[in-house]
């Protein structure tokens, strides 16, 4: 979120409450470092509680007031267009003029202009930008996407772009490494399950519904009950898959310095993979 954009949105006067709410949602998605603002329409509908038509009407009102500008992406070959970017016209801090009841028609035209701040208004304050979580590490997403797609028990029609967009929103609320752990656990639970277990939905939906939180919550008791046999089984599967298989309930895999496996397990894995150049390197554990 851009502090500058949100402060500006709060100060804008004269908008209907729902229209202003949309402006504040756009400000919440504004990146102060890059100036980009590209929330999906699905996200705006979900957060505002408005339908598509109502949302479009409020967008038109904001555009007519000179507060935003929509930049469209044209898909070609008769596939229409969609909003690819919103440009916020930060700087209008006074009232926005709109149609007045009983006013002459010529005075009802909406004017795009900046007005002097009203008396008593809080002076506009520039906020330092680029200090928030404006950048998303999509390298972790790539690992998460690959792991999610490795599950044989999942819904068809997985959409990477939608999942990537939702990932950017999800990591604002949750640690990306924790989400990755939850995906490992969800995938592992679907490898030859003993009982019925539902397939994983579209990754976009799984992230949007915050199912990673449920998975991590359910996994906590299993971590306490871990036995040495669990570690040995996990180590065998890890070696057999050249480092691609590791149950999420055991935490980070051996090639992470934060792996909780006993020293004897790590030493065994390190020894068995020593001659395989394609295998991940198992870091030495520092002495306490």
Closest CA to 218 of 190, 242, 249: 249
Rounded to the nearest 10 degrees, the angle between the axes of helix 138-149 and helix 176-188 is 10
Q: What angle do CA 173, 174, 180 make, to 5 degrees?
A: 145
Domain ranges of the chain: 3-107, 135-224, 226-288
Alpha-carbon distance of 55 to 18, in angstroms, equals 9
In this structure, the number of other CB atoms found within 10 A of the CB of residue 150 comes to 13
pLDDT tens, per residue, the chain with 288 residues: 678 888 888 888 888 988 988 998 998 888 877 777 878 888 888 888 888 888 889 888 888 888 888 876 654 555 555 555 677 777 655 445 444 344 444 444 444 434 344 444 344 344 444 444 456 768 899 999 999 999 999 988 889 999 999 999 999 889 999 999 999 999 998 987 878 888 999 999 999 999 999 898 887 655 456 788 999 999 999 999 888 889 877 888 999 988 989 999 999 999 999 888 888 999 988 765
* CATH 1.10.10.10 corresponds to the domain 3-107: yes
pTM given for the model: 0.37
Alpha-carbon distance of 264 to 262, in angstroms, equals 6
Number of helices (H) and strands (E), helices first, in the chain? Answer: 11, 2
DSSP string, 136-178: --HHHHHHHHHHHHT-SSB-S---HHHHHHHHHHHTTTS-HHH
Tokens of 4: 């500058």
- Sheet strands (E) in the chain: 68-74, 81-88
């Amino acid at each position: 979120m851009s502090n500058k954009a949100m402060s500006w949105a709060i100060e804008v006067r004269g908008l209907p409450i729902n229209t202003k709410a949309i402006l504040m949602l756009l400000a919440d998605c504004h990146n102060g470092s890059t100036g980009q603002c590209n929330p999906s329409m699905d996200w705006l509908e979900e957060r505002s509680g408005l339908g598509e038509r109502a949302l479009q009407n409020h967008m038109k009102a904001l555009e007519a007031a000179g507060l935003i500008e929509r930049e469209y992406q044209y898909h070609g070959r008769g596939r229409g267009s969609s909003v690819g970017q919103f440009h916020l016209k930060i700087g209008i801090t006074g009232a926005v003029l709109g149609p007045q009841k009983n006013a002459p028609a010529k005075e009802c035209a909406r004017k795009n202009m900046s007005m002097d701040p009203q008396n008593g208004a809080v002076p506009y304050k520039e906020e330092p930008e680029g200090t928030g979580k404006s950048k998303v590490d999509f390298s972790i997403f790539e690992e998460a996407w690959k792991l999610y797609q490795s599950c044989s028990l999942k819904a068809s029609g997985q959409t990477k772009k939608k999942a990537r967009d939702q990932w950017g929103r999800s990591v604002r609320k949750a640690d990306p490494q924790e989400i990755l752990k939850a995906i490992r656990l969800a995938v592992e639970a679907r490898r030859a399950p003993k009982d019925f277990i539902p397939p994983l939905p579209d990754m976009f939906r799984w992230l949007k519904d915050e199912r990673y939180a449920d998975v991590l919550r359910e996994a906590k008791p299993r971590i306490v009950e871990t036995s040495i046999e669990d570690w040995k089984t996990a180590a065998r599967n890890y070696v057999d898959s050249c480092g691609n298989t590791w149950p999420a309930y055991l935490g980070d895999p051996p090639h992470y310095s934060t792996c909780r496996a006993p020293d004897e397990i790590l030493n065994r894995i390190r020894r068995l993979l020593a001659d395989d150049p394609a295998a991940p390197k198992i870091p030495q554990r520092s002495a306490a």
